[in-house]
Amino acid sequence: MSTPSYPLANAPYAQAAALVNGDGTIVRAQGIVEVRRIADGSYSVQVSKDIDLDKAVPMASLIGRADASVPAQIYINPHETSGEPHTFGVTTYAGAARVDNPFTVIVP
């Protein structure tokens, strides 16, 4: 296994956790293999192979907002369709528009 290019997170009660910038770069993580920005506000999050996503309940939360004047939302798609195993999707919105926004993700 290669050494990640980001600092490791300390999340002792999570199988995986990450702090992710709006451009999809990982600030720090544990158990997260990769985050890819697919399109505006759309991300693919891949966890390590030892995590069974069929039994997990991933959670995500926005960090701030891209535009404070518009309501912001974040959604998880547990059945992200990139074809990569151990992967789920995260989508961030401002109003009805998909926008890049930093977020955290946790797989307890």
What digits encode the pLDDT tens for the residues 49-66?
Answer: 999 998 999 999 999 876
What's the mean pLDDT in 65-80? 84
Q: Which of 64-68, 80-84, 87-91 has the highest mean pLDDT?
A: 87-91
- For 52, residues 6+ apart whose C-beta sits below 8 A from its C-beta are none
Rounded-to-integer distance, Cα 2 and Cα 29, Å: 14
Whose CA is closest to 39, among 106, 97, 103? 97
79: its two tokens? 């059945």
Whose CA is closest to 79, among 90, 94, 93, 69? 90
